[in-house]
Amino acid sequence: MQQYIRMSGLGGQGVVTAAHILGGAAVKEGKNATVNPFFGAEKRLAPAESYVRIAEEEIYDTGEILYPHVIMVYHSDVVTKGKSYTMPFFAGLRAGGVIMVNSEQPLEFDEDDRRTLEDLGAFVHFLPATAIAKEHGGTELSTNIAMLGGLLGLTGVVGGRAMEESLKERFGGKAKFVASGTTAVLDDAIRKQYDKVEKLVSANLRVLTAAYEVARGMRESAPRGVR
């Protein structure tokens, strides 16, 4: 089993952090995983991508994922304004692949893009990740956690227990991974909103669970195509 996942978003949305949480969850389940972030200037709202490979067998590839099974779009500007290092945003998607876009409303694709996605038999879902983060976590800074919950609900690429353990390790453990100056600032901004780390972890788990439930319902009801 292989799952290659491309995360596309903007600086400050926690795309890099989400990728490491996902990779950590896969390892906790005894799988192999590699995580590769890619971003230019460490500037808020600049394009940012992360690539996560998960497999039962050894993984020898690193770097950019050209042919993903799953594409996670953290901000609608990736689609509507082309704020992405990969254009079009669905480039290389494998047949029968999954696209999850953070948006409260379906986005309009032009006719050529729609036809391409339909020919691929792609599943396109729109998850209100930021709205879920605000409602259940009290901050839009947990959007990346909502996106992870959505990924679990749509694909089951890792189990909920492993994801919970990886999330707790990331935010509540003694070790602190620092991907970049921007990521460190983001972590500090989140932490300041809570009196204790336990509250932060608890809030993120609520966000993860809520997004998972929403996405699972989407998976059960949506056929192939742009929905």
What CATH number should be reported for the domain holding residue 217?
3.40.920.10
Which tokens go with 184? 């460190």
The domain tally of the chain equals 1
93: containing domain: 2-226
CB 170 within 8 A of CB 16: no
- Check: CB of residue 89 under 8 Å from CB of residue 79: yes
pLDDT of 216 higher than 80: yes
Spatial separation of the C-alpha atoms in residues 99 and 129, rounded to whole Å: 14
Give me the DSSP letters along 130-150.
HHHHHHHHSSGGGHHHHHHHH
Of the pLDDT bands very low, low, confident and very high (cuts 50, 70, 90), residue 89 is: very high
Considering just the CA atoms, what is the radius of gyration of the chain in Å? 16
In tens, the pLDDT along 70-87 reads: 999 999 999 999 888 888
What average pLDDT does the structure give for the chain? 87
pLDDT over 70 percentage in the chain: 83
170-178 contacts: CB < 8 A, separation 24 or more? Answer: 170/17, 170/20, 170/21, 170/24, 171/197, 171/200, 171/201, 171/204, 172/197, 172/198, 172/200, 172/201, 177/20
Q: Is the pLDDT of residue 187 over 80?
A: no
| Per-residue pLDDT reduced to its tens digit, 50-71 | 999 999 999 998 889 999 999 9
Q: What is the pLDDT of residue 85?
A: 85
- Residue 192 pLDDT class (50, 70, 90 cuts): low
Give the pLDDT confidence of 132-166 residue by residue, as tens digits. 999 999 999 999 999 999 999 999 999 999 999 99
pLDDT band at 22 (very low <50, low <70, confident <90, very high): very high
Where does the pLDDT of residue 31 fall: very low under 50, low under 70, confident under 90, or very high at 90 and above?
Answer: very high
Tally helices (H) and strands (E) across the chain.
8, 7
145 closest CA partner among 193, 90, 105, 203: 203
